Structure formats: C-alpha cells, structure tokens
Amino acid sequence: MPPKAARPSPKHARKAAIKNAYAIEPISAFYIFLGANLVAALFAPIQDCDETFNYWEPLHYLSHGYGLQTWEYSPDFAIRSWLYIALHAVFSNLRRLFPWTSKVGEFYFVRYVLAAACAMCQTLMWRATCLALNPRVGIFFILALVFSPGNFHSSTAFLPSSFAMYMGMLGAAAFMNWRGGLKTSQGMFWFAVGGVFGWPFALALCAPFVLEECFFALFSDGQRFFEAFVRVGRGVVATLVLIFFDFVLNTFFYKKVEVVSWNIVKYNIFSSTGGPELYGTEPWDFYFKNLALNFNVWFVLALLSLPLFMAQKLFSKSFETFQSGLRTVVFLSPFYMWLGIFTLQPHKEERFMYPAYPFLALNAALALHTLLSFFGNASPKTLVGKIPAKLKLFIVAAGLMLSIDIGLVRIWGLYSGYSAPLAIYAPLVDVGGRGENVCFGKDWYRFPSSYFLPNDMHAKFIRSEFRGLLPGEFSEARTGFGFWSGTWLPTIGLNDRNEEDAGKYVELRACSFLVDTQFPEQQKDLAWKAPPNEPDYVADTEHWQEVMCVPFLDAASTPFLARALWVPEWDVIPERFRRKWGRHCLLRQKR
C-alpha cells in the first residue's frame, strides 16, 4: 500500500486557507483594472495643459496635418520624442478606418487603448505580487489602485510619465517573479522602454532591482557571478538598442542628429536658461499633500510600509531567509527613492509622481498585510489579542470602506467640477464653419486639444493677462519629402525661457468663436474689477452670443474640503461649505 500523505500542520493549513481565500483568476483581475481605467478614459478631465499642448496637439498634427506647436518640438531644442507620438498615432489613425468616425472618437479611442494597455500592465504586476509575496497583498494592491483618484488621473493620461508607469509595472513584474529563473535583462528592458520612449528619469526606478542582482552576484560563486553579469549586460545592450532606435526616428522627424533622451536630461539638470523652475516652484510638502488627496489612507500605509516590515522582523518570529527579507526591502525601495528624489526638486507637478503610483500601491498593500498579520496572530495575553475577531474584522472593513468612499467621492468631485472643457465643443459640428477660428484668452490652458474642433477649425489665442510663452503652430507647408514638414522646418517666436511672443496673438475680429469662463461668485465682491485684457465676454451680449455653457467649479471661491471632495448640494449643508460655480462657455461672435 502506498504510504499515507503527511497531514499539514494546523499552522500551514491555516496559511494555505488564507491564500486560497484571497486568490482570484488573472482574467478577473484584468477586468477589474480595465473597468476602472475605462471609467477614467470616459470621464477624466485633462489635468495638465502640458498633456494637451505637448502630446495631443503633436498627435493631431501627425494625424490631421495641423496643430499647436510648443517650443519643445522646435528643431532648435528637440526635447520631445516623436517616437512616443508616432506610437499613439497608429491608434488614432486606426479609428478612422471604423464607421462613424470623428476626431472626438479618435481622442477617446486612444484613451481606450491606453486603458487596456494600463490594465494589462497592472494585471502582470499584480500577478507577480501574488507569486512573490502573498495573494492577500495582491488583493490590497488592486484596492489601492482601482479606487484611487491617482489611478483615475494617470491610467489613461497621454503623458510620458503614464507610459513610464506602464513600463515600470512590466519591469517590476519581471524582476519580482523569479519563477522560471531570474529575469533581470527582461526587467531592465521594460524600464528602458519607459525611460527612452517615455521619460528618461523613470529609469531610476530600476536601480533597486539592479542593485539587488549585483549584491547577490558579489556573494555568489564564479559561475553565478558570470550569469548575473550576462543578464545585466543584456539589459544594458537592450537599452542602447532602444536609444539608437529612438535616435533614428527622431533624426527622421527633426532632420538633424538628436538624442532626445539626453536633451531632456540636459535641459532639466544642466540648463543655463533657468530650466523647469521657470514654470513655477512648490514647497517641500507638495507631493505629501497631493498623494494624501489622491490615495488617502493608502499613502499613509505606503509611508509606514518599511518601518512596519522592520518591526515585524524585530518583534515576531519569522521563517523568512535573509534573501527573502532583503527582496521585500528591495520591493519597498522604489517608492521611497522616487518620493525623496522629487521632493528635493524645486519644480513639482502631480504627473511627476505617476511612475511611482504602482509602487505606492505595492507598499501600502504590504503594510496593510503586515498590520493584519499582527492583529490576527496576536497572543491572547496581549491587549490586541483580547479584541474579539469580529470587532477586528469590522474595524478593518470599516477602514477600507472609508478609504474607498473617499476615493470615489473625490473622483466624482473632479469629474463634476472640471469636465466642462470636454463638453462645450459638441455644438461646433453643426454651427462651426470650415476653417473658422476658436479663440482662447484667459482659458488658454483649459483647451482640451484640436481633436474637439471639427470642420478643420483652428485654435487661436487672443491677448490676456498671461505673460508667458504660448504655443505656436506647426507649419502646414509641404516641402522636402512632402508630409510632416512642420516637424523640421525652422520656427519663429519659440524660446526656452518662457518669454512672451506677441506673434502668438490674433485680433478679436478674427475669432468666429471664443471660449470664456464666468465666475459670478467672484464678481459679487465689491472690489472686483475685470482685468484690462480679460473682460467678461459672457456678459457682453452685444458682441457675443452663447452657444453652450456648462457649470464649472469656481475653485477660488470654494472652500478646501468642497474642492478636494464632492459635497452634495443639500439644504442641510451650510452655504459656506458648499461648492461655488462658474460657467465655462463657448461663445459665437455676432456679425
């Protein structure tokens, strides 16, 4: 008779039961991520005008032959990669092959593709987390991402930092999953794709994983040291190949030898004209406040993840080896490193944190797992051990539900407050004439892109109180090889010093349509007076008629809590705590 199988110990059986309870199928995880990302694709406002002018407008130029051009795309500076734009142009033009095509349809189709790509990357990192750590950590990783306003912003943003976030998840998944052998070269490759084709600084996120490989190689025998050397070498070679490929394509577009990745680094670190600080600086706590808004309790857990892990190693009996413990520290390191590096930079923007969002979620998930292990395994002799199990479950469940609710309330607040710029252009399909101009004054930075202007209509700028450099326009000349000549023809009036160029403005009489925002709450102030170059065009009914107006949050008049979260318009809520509204309007000039 065959020997009886050994019975698992109660402790191991309990651990196995916990793992099975939290295990879900990869396809289910993918659908969860995809659902959250599609919501973002449909409803997320454009957070940053840089997304419009540096990415949607060049994409519109490649697809439709005209668009606004920033100084970064001037061949005199060449600090933006056309390869990144060309990758997305494939999908923008693909949508034109489908029935009922429109430029707005192209815009959202690109977003849907980004939603699916992000969901795939998230699923792979989730899977690697389950295999390398614990399925329960994987569940918390899902919760930390799909219900966070941070994912709502970043998952479908057409930004290199979002692309670097996608590739960072693929790279982390390769490094984390040692099943089937170490995948160092594969992990380095994905980080390099994000850095070279997207944002060079994102390559720094690869450092903890490469250092881990080097550390273990130093204490290995000769054969394993050589294998590690080969893996890292392949990753370096792959990075150089990607740089060469990017160099060739950008040389084609700019018609001059350019290494865009180096140009970006040179401008941001070694610029002699002021660099990114010309566009504003923020205090040291900017990212702490921003991440607290976008991830609430998950951000706090992420900050506590390393101290909690170290405390667990010090005060509890653990069967982890030194190698597995060090690996966990490596997994936790990228978020701390990224937050530290960018906190030290004077110029700060929300999108700079995007590549670290998955690592924030990973840290938070591991921290919550550690806390639950502490609560669940506490000795009955301790104070924690005397708390009834059902009460512990209620406390944890209530905390998670509160976090989810806060995230959803903020997401709804962002959509309801700031989605007007994606809605007001719909009437132009019927009332806009071919080739007419839609003008922007003080609202220039709210323009969502030329994809919302049908009938070959163009965006133009009129004078406002803004005194920085506005975008110009890609040349529509057809010379040289006959298409996309605007990528290499010399430009006029573009500079890297954020200095105003008067040539960017048109006269008001050239505007068939005008976009303006009216804030009645601000006008109630007796001291209020419209700036000389920013009159209330909405109120000027003698010269302008409303085509469409949509409510738009008056952030200056709304208290902080109502700006940060959605606050219902209920009578029981005092007036001083409610949101205040303006109107974002598309106006037509009376002739």
For the chain of 591 residues, list the mean pLDDT of each consecutive stretch of 10: 50 54 86 98 96 98 96 95 96 90 95 98 97 94 97 97 98 93 94 96 95 88 88 95 95 93 92 86 95 97 95 72 81 97 95 97 96 75 69 83 95 96 96 96 97 96 96 87 85 94 96 97 87 94 96 95 92 91 97 79
Q: Which of 416, 440, 455 is the last residue of a domain?
A: 416
Query: What is the reported pLDDT for 101?
Result: 87
Bridge partners of 518, per DSSP, are 583
| Residue 4 belongs to a domain | no
Q: What is the pLDDT of residue 2?
A: 46
Provide the residue type at 75 as one letter. P
Structure tokens, 547: 């085509």
Closest CA to 58 of 72, 42, 44, 41: 72
> Residue 255 — φ and ψ, nearest 5°?
60, 30
Which tokens sit at 92?
């923008």
CA separation for the pair 9, 19 (Å, rounded):
15
The residue written with tokens 């040389």 in the block is 251
Distance separating alpha carbons of residues 490 and 472, to the nearest angstrom: 12
Same domain for 38 and 138? yes
In angstroms, the CA 94 to CA 100 distance is 13
Q: Six-digit token pair at 382?
A: 């301790």
Q: What are the distances in angstroms from CA 187 to CA 168, 225, 239, 424?
A: 9, 18, 11, 44
| Nearest CA among 508, 505, 517, 515 for reference residue 584 | 517
For 208, 302, 371, 460, the CA distances from 307, given in Å and listed in that order, are 18, 10, 11, 53
**Rounded distance, CA 403 to CA 33, Å?**
18
Q: Are 312 and 374 in contact (CB under 8 A)?
A: yes
Domain shared by 136 and 256, yes or no? yes
- Phi, psi at residue 134, to the nearest 5°? -170, 140
Same domain, 368 and 445: no
First to last CA, the chain: 99
CA distances from 183 to 180, 197, 224, 369, 429 (A): 9, 21, 14, 26, 51
Q: How many of the other CB atoms lie within 10 Å of CB of 505?
A: 17
Residue 542 contacts residue 576 (beta carbons within 8 Å): no
Kindly state whether residues 368 and 410 are assigned to the same domain: yes
What's the pLDDT score for residue 100? 87
11 found inside a domain: no
Name the residue range of residue 295's domain.
25-416
The confidence score (pLDDT) of residue 240 equals 96
- Rg over alpha carbons for the chain, rounded to the nearest Å, is 27
Write out the E strands in 425-491.
437-440, 458-461, 472-473
**Residue 74 located in a structural domain:** yes
Co-location of 458 and 337 in the same domain = no
Does residue 365 sit within a domain? yes
Q: Are residues 259 and 282 in the same domain?
A: yes
As given in the structure block, the two tokens for residue 345 are 């930079």
Is 55 a domain residue? yes
Q: Token match 């057409």: residue? A: 158
Boundary of a domain, candidates 355, 388, 416: 416
Domain assignment of residue 20, yes or no: no
Domain termination residue (choose one: 396, 416, 436): 416
Nearest to 161 by CA among 278, 90, 264: 264
Q: Buried b vs exposed e over 246-257: b needs ≥16 C-beta within 10 Å?
A: bbebbbebbeee
Pairing between β-strand 544-553 and β-strand 581-589 as defined by DSSP bridges: antiparallel
In a domain? residue 422: no
| CA nearest neighbour of 334 among 169, 463, 456, 218 | 169
CA angle, 29 as apex, 28 and 33 as ends, to 5°?
120
d(CA 284, CA 234) in angstroms, rounded, equals 38
For residues 80 and 39, state if they share a domain.
yes
Same domain, 124 and 189: yes
Instruction: For residues 375 and 552, give the distance between their C-alpha atoms in angstroms, rounded to a whole number.
Output: 46
443 and 400 co-located in one domain = no
Q: How many domains does the chain have?
A: 2
pLDDT value at residue 21: 58
Give SS3 for 402: helix
Sheet holding 544-553, edge to edge: 458-461, 437-440, 513-518, 581-589, 544-553
CB 584 within 8 A of CB 446: yes
Q: Give the Cα separation of 127 and 180 in Å (integer).
A: 15
In 3D, which of 300, 350, 341, 447 has the Cα closest to residue 149?
350
Domain assignment of residue 410, yes or no: yes
Residues 362 and 248 in one domain: yes
- Do 352 and 445 fall within a single domain? no
**Cα separation values, 510 from 261, 433, 453, Å:** 39, 13, 16
Q: What is the largest CA-CA distance in the chain?
A: 100
Distance of CA 92 to the CA centre of its chain: 20
Give SS3 for 31: helix
Other CB atoms within a 10 A radius of the CB of residue 482 amount to 7
436 and 410 both lie in a single domain: no
